[in-house]
Amino acid sequence: MVLSALVVALFATPLPVSYSHDVAPILDRHCAPCHRPGGVAPFSLFTYSDAAKRAGLIATVTRSRYMPPWLPTEPRFAHERKLTDAEIALLARWAATGAPPGNPAETPPVPTFAEGWQLGKPDLEVEMSNTFDVPADGPDLYQCFAMPVAESASHYVRALDIRPGNPLVVHHAILFQDTTGTARARDTGSGYPCFGTPGFLPARGMGGWTPGSLPFQTPEGMPETLYAHAALVLQVHYHPVGKPASDRTRVALYFTDQKPTRTGYDIPLGSSRIDIPAGDRAYKVADSFVIPVDVDVIAVNPHAHYVCRDMLGYALLPDGTRRTLIHIPNWDFNWQQQYVYSKPLRLPADTRVVMEYTYDNSAANPRNPNHPPRRVFYGPSSTDEMAGLHIAVAPADAADGEELGLALWGKLVRATGGGGLSRGRR
């Protein structure tokens, strides 16, 4: 009787939680990649005192899933940054019980982070031609830099890495190559402003950097081509941090001799017919495309500005099955990135891929850039909107590439000829 009461009491009282035994391993693994000296976050979470003085805040931001930053609720992607419910509960319990340190001897060693390029010595290393000065405050800046590349031959690129000179002010960066000469002409030494798109077509995106991201590696058999005499163009989103800062971001490229055996295609779902009445809380933008051949879906890249709230991408298979490609219920422009599937997703011919975005143009949307809300159109600036879902696919059978390419061309012609791109502003 006494014994069973004791057993019940033991099970009813959760085991004590301590920093050294329970909390440090979670922070080291999920937070320290950004919260470390020289990292992107404004403070470190390395030591007991770093963590203990913020125990309550850590519990709050993990419970709301604001940290670690990760927007999609489904499906599962490679390199996902998510805490489990058990880990979140543990951090909450630690804060609620007064953030006990535990036994210091048990604290795991401070994690180390590679200082050099994570993939070793690059085949080509380039950097912005000058440092760029970011003012102490004011609006975020979107600046494009044409980076000189003295390559007279084309190369196949198997991987790339981007290293911000000053991770505190670099919010994200995307690397493009420009074969038109436009970027080089516009960049007279300190870049040129470029919110949204880099200002040339085709804008060949090669990869990107977001806080905490890993080097970008191309899928097996699908290296990117870097064209001879092309300019590498880096689009950087700077976020002023209260004191003047400067940045000079560097890029590393890794080449391969292996010719591509599969060709990647971009299915650009999206619409420029955006005209959102002020105050509208649930304005919908949709697009779809029927893929005529079997494909493997490799990655998705959603894009919109600040008024967008909910992003849904899905595939409707010919047998009626519906598979979620991505769902972001609470879009945050500040954490945009490409999402790579852990395993490519095979879709049979005649699958319809669909995007459905919902915009909240009311004052209740805390990210609405317009106070009071105003009518919002399609456009490139931060107070305009966009709607895009890029789906990176490779035909299952390389011989099907031409058919897919033609179907995509047809979609583009319908979008432009049908008034899509030209009639955004009515």
Residues with Cβ within 8 Å of 297's Cβ and at least 6 positions away in sequence, in order, are 315, 325, 341, 344, 345, 346, 347, 391, 392, 393
Q: Residue from 42, 139, 202, 318 that binds ligand HEC (CB under 6 A)?
A: 42
CA distances from 222 to 97, 225, 261 (A): 52, 9, 6
In angstroms, the CA 247 to CA 253 distance is 20
Applying CB under 6 A, which part among 57-65, 183-191, 248-256, 363-371 lies near ligand HEC? 57-65
In angstroms, the CA 304 to CA 388 distance is 6
* DSSP assignment letter at 31: T
Is-contact 194 146, C-beta < 8 A?
no
Closest approach of ligand HEC to the CB of residue 208, in Å? 13
Which is nearer to ligand HEC, 29 or 352 (by Cβ)?
A: 29
Binding mask 1-30 for ligand HEC (x = CB under 6 A): -----------------------------x
Applying CB under 6 A, which part among 66-74, 254-262, 319-327, 363-371 lies near ligand HEC? 66-74
Q: What would you measure as the largest C-alpha separation in the chain, in angstroms?
A: 86
Give buried/exposed letters for 304-334 (b at 16+ CB in 10 A, else e).
bbbbbbbbbbbbbeeeeeeeebbbbeebebb
Closest approach of ligand HEC to the CB of residue 206, in Å? 21
Q: Does 59 bind ligand HEC (CB under 6 A)?
A: no
Q: Among candidates 188, 204, 206, which has minimal Cα distance to 143?
A: 188
Is-contact 333 320, C-beta < 8 A?
no
Q: Residue from 17, 23, 55, 58 that binds ligand HEC (CB under 6 A)?
A: 58
Q: Residue from 17, 23, 24, 40 that binds ligand HEC (CB under 6 A)?
A: 40
Applying CB under 6 A, which part among 52-60, 130-138, 147-155, 226-234 lies near ligand HEC? 52-60
Which is nearer to ligand HEC, 81 or 237 (by Cβ)?
A: 81
Closest approach of ligand HEC to the CB of residue 237, in Å? 12
DSSP 198-266: -SSSS-EEEEEE-TTPPPEE--TT-PEEEPTTPEEEEEEEE---SS-EEE--EEEEEEESPPPSS--EE
Q: Residue from 191, 199, 212, 270 that binds ligand HEC (CB under 6 A)?
A: 212
Question: How many Cβ atoms are within 10 Å of 16's Cβ, its own excluded?
Answer: 12
Q: 172 - beta bridge partners?
A: 237
Q: Does 208 bind ligand HEC (CB under 6 A)?
A: no
Q: Does 175 bind ligand HEC (CB under 6 A)?
A: no
- # of chain residues touching ligand HEC (CB under 6 A): 20
Q: What is the footprint of ligand HEC within residues 243-282 (CB under 6 A)?
A: none
For residue 163, what is the enclosing H or E element?
A: strand 155-163
Binding mask 71-110 for ligand HEC (x = CB under 6 A): ----------x-x---------------------------
Q: Does 31 bind ligand HEC (CB under 6 A)?
A: yes
Q: Residue from 28, 44, 55, 62 that binds ligand HEC (CB under 6 A)?
A: 62
Q: Does 33 bind ligand HEC (CB under 6 A)?
A: yes
* Residues of this chain that bind ligand HEC (CB under 6 A): 30-31, 33-35, 40-42, 54, 57-58, 61-62, 67-69, 81, 83, 211-212
